Amino acid sequence: MKILIGGAGNAGRSVVGYLSQANNDIVVVDTDKQRLDELAKEFDVQTVIGSISHPGIMEKIGAKDADILIAITDNDEVNLVACQVAYTLFQIPKKIARVDSEYFLNPLWNTLYSDKNLPVDLVISPDVEIAKAVLNLLEIPGTTAVFPLVDEKLYLLGFKCQESCPLINTEIDEIKQSYNSPIIHIIRGSKSFFAKPNERIHLNDEIFILVEKDKVFDTLHDFGIISQQIENLVLFGGNAVSYYIANVLEKDDMVNSCKIIEGNSRIAYDLAENLNDTQIIQGEMMSDVILDEAEIKNASATVAVTENDKDNLLASLIAKKSGVPYTFSLVNSRAFDSLIDDDGGNVIVERSLVITSAMLQDIRKAKINNAYCLRRGMGEVWEVRIDCDSLNIDKTVSELGLPDKCKISAIYRNEEIIYPKTDDKIKEGDILIVFVSPQAMRKAEEIFKI
């Protein structure tokens, strides 16, 4: 698949980092040569200096043969014009645009995005997607991943099995029978695999369970996770991510206080002007004086969302040392992958996974409602809908011909979760929860294309 990416900033790098793992032909365009040089050193992609919105540049990079355009520069107008050029002159089938301005994102202007007006198939805001991912984690403390499915009727939860888990060394089948909590996927160290009935849970396993919304906290309790309500939150870094989080939490009666620490006086002033009940603290976020002013020792959780990975990880480490129960760090670079499993309880929010997850519905050729990236190189989970025209209706699970490392882990049918056997039939209206490894991606796309 040929993918054109406009923008080599943090968001662009994140998308390149994920999509370059597959056998994709990727061309990245940016006006900043230094950004492109750094990108080319890390990934096997073609780089071109210029603006993605210029027809001449698009022609130069072979836009006529492209399958997808992802315009993800820091400039909304450039991204939207690039989609128009891609549609009008080069007929690129899929066009995704990054849009950050609240004016362009206003629901009142949804009709703007159509073939007759601005031909954009998907509008995404990376900062908003990251903020939503963090808010999901804050809503269910103790988790490492929260993936809403089926209009939030179900949650796919990921969490680490710590020493407090009473089910360590217990077989999966026994857990299923005794607790009605079927484990459907496990990440153990650098391996990702489907949970077999005789598999035993190990200490530090990250496990994934599909849970109905009203059973979330009971299920976590079974695994020794007692979630504490987030009442006092401290955010490190004043930007669009922290603004969105604070703006949402100001409307949450369960949150007593929300504070943002920001070093830049102008940014701090703007935040103070636009937020009503959030305390803005201007100063160096590693300073003992500033941390005392933020009352870090009384915080229920901290979220570090600056543009610097090291600052985020260090801020979370300081918060952990101060006794904060839950800490979250936004990470952009693959260099910090090893810290995910050895971070002392800090939850890593990977920019590339969040941003790419928001695009998967349009990138993949399957008929999916939602899709999420588990980890880099460890596959995806798809929410596949079976419409009346699907060729898979009345086929048994075994007759689908799923490739190895692709599995229908659950079926949501008539508001019930079914954990299917190989002879169970697929029915119209079913919603399939499918785990797909990178090696199985192409075949799975073909099976669920219609």
pLDDT digits (tens, 9 = 90+) for 275-329: 999 999 999 998 999 999 999 999 999 999 998 989 999 999 999 999 999 999 9
Radius of gyration of the chain (CA): 22
Extract the residue ranges of the chain whose pLDDT is less than 70: 102-115, 333-344
Q: What pLDDT sits at residue 433? A: 95
Provide CATH code, domain 232-353: 3.40.50.720
Q: What pLDDT sits at residue 341? A: 46
Q: What pLDDT sits at residue 64? A: 94
Q: Is-same-fold flag (146-222; 232-353)?
A: no
Domain edges within the chain = 2-124, 146-222, 232-353, 364-447
At which residue do the structure tokens 């179900």 appear?
A: 154
pTM beyond 0.85 = yes
Long-range CB contact pairs, 119-123, < 8 A, 24+ = 119/83, 119/84, 119/86, 119/87, 119/88, 119/95, 120/80, 120/83, 120/95, 120/96, 121/94, 121/95, 121/96, 121/362, 122/94, 122/95, 122/96, 122/97, 122/359, 122/361, 122/362, 123/96, 123/97, 123/99
- Give the CATH fold of the 2-124 domain: Rossmann fold (3.40.50)
Query: In this structure, what is the dihedral angle of CA atoms 56, 59, 60, 61, given to the nearest 10 degrees?
Result: 130
> What is the rounded average pLDDT for all residues in the chain?
89
Cα angle 389, 395, 396 (rounded to 5 degrees) comes to 145
Q: What pLDDT sits at residue 50? A: 95
Q: Which top CATH class is 364-447?
A: alpha beta
Beta bridge partners of 380: 373, 436
pLDDT in tens, 98-130: 988 765 555 555 666 666 778 888 989 999 999
Q: What pLDDT sits at residue 133? A: 96
Provide CATH code, domain 146-222: 3.30.70.1450
How far is 364 from 442, CA to CA, in rounded Å?
9
